[in-house]
Amino acid sequence: MGLSRAELYAAIRRDKRLDPEVSQRTLGEKYGVHRRTVRQALTSAVPPPRKQPAPRASVLDPAKGWIDAMLREDLAAPRKQKHTARRIFQCLAQEHDFDLVSYSTVSDYVAIRRPQIQIEDQEGRRHLAGMVPQVHLPGEEAEVDFADVWVRLAGEVTKCHLFTLRMSYSGKAVHRVYASQAQESFMEGHVEAFNVLGGVPSRHIRYDNLKPAVNRICTGRSRVESERWTSFRSHYGFDAFYCIPGQEGAHEKGGVEQEGGRFRRTHLVVLR
């Protein structure tokens, strides 16, 4: 599977960061790109925008929602009582009065979409059990998480979100309170923490499945990151380590989860 442009830029910048003497020609040959692309990646972590062709409308578009709904119903249906492509084609005509496409068009879409829906349903459920040793060197690793906090804002008790970045070795942490967990707050929290700490973790930062960073959870630790987040990481020169979803992965960044609770109890509980 090929790299996206943001991932390509991040990989080039990472190689240059690890080996400052590597030439642009060598990097271009390694990734099969022109040296001009290498220069662009080293200049900026954000790829220049491409002109996007206008999407071609499909005659099947109005019916895709109905088809997807039938395929999702099949996830809980007995094995021998699932919708076939033929039955879906008939349902579109009989129940939705939709007869603008041929059977082959519906069949082709079902053949592609059915396994996709099955994968979407199983995302995050399969993983390999194991242990992650908590051994850290100074300045190498950090952990990031959001915790819920309540503050009195203009006289009203308001739910806010505590961003915490905690260094794994020293336990030193930086906290910022935001009104939301939006991507802007997520990135600003990192910038604030890097400024306070005076640097960036040299190995990686641990995360769970925060929506500002992750578009989709795949099997195990694989994630589909947002392009803006990939470019942000590339710009600041650090890697992301994604924990296993659910309770099995909670211990992998337990330090920052405990830190959020400690800060809330210490600084946000009113003394009487």
Express each pLDDT in 47-99 by its tens digit: 888 777 877 888 888 999 999 999 998 888 887 788 899 999 999 999 899 98
Strand order in the sheet with 239-242: 173-178, 156-167, 141-153, 204-207, 239-242
pLDDT given at position 157: 86
Asked if residue 256 has pLDDT above 60, the reply is yes
Q: Which amino acid is at 54?
A: A
Q: How confident is the model at residue 172 (pLDDT cuts 50, 70, 90)?
A: very high
Please tell me the least confidently modeled range out of 110-114, 125-129, 184-188, 197-201: 125-129
Q: Where are the alpha helices (DSSP H) in the chain?
A: 5-18, 24-31, 35-43, 61-73, 85-95, 103-122, 183-197, 227-236, 254-267
Distances (CA, A) of 157 to 147, 152, 154, 198, 264: 16, 4, 8, 34, 15
176: number of CA atoms within 13 Å, CB side? 19
Report the SS3 class of residue 88: helix
- For residues 122-144, average pLDDT: 73
Top-confidence residue, 249 or 106: 106
- For residues 92-119, average pLDDT: 91
Please tell me the least confidently modeled range out of 15-19, 56-60, 66-70, 234-238: 56-60
pLDDT given at position 128: 56
pLDDT given at position 125: 61
pLDDT given at position 173: 93
Asked if residue 123 has pLDDT above 70, the reply is yes
Q: Is 100 exposed, middle or buried (0-12, 13-18, 19+ CB in 10 A)?
A: exposed
Top-confidence residue, 211 or 164: 164
Question: pLDDT digits over 174-223, tens only?
Answer: 999 999 999 999 999 999 999 999 999 998 999 887 788 877 766 667 77
pLDDT given at position 135: 73
pTM, two decimals, is: 0.58
Average pLDDT value over all residues in the chain: 86
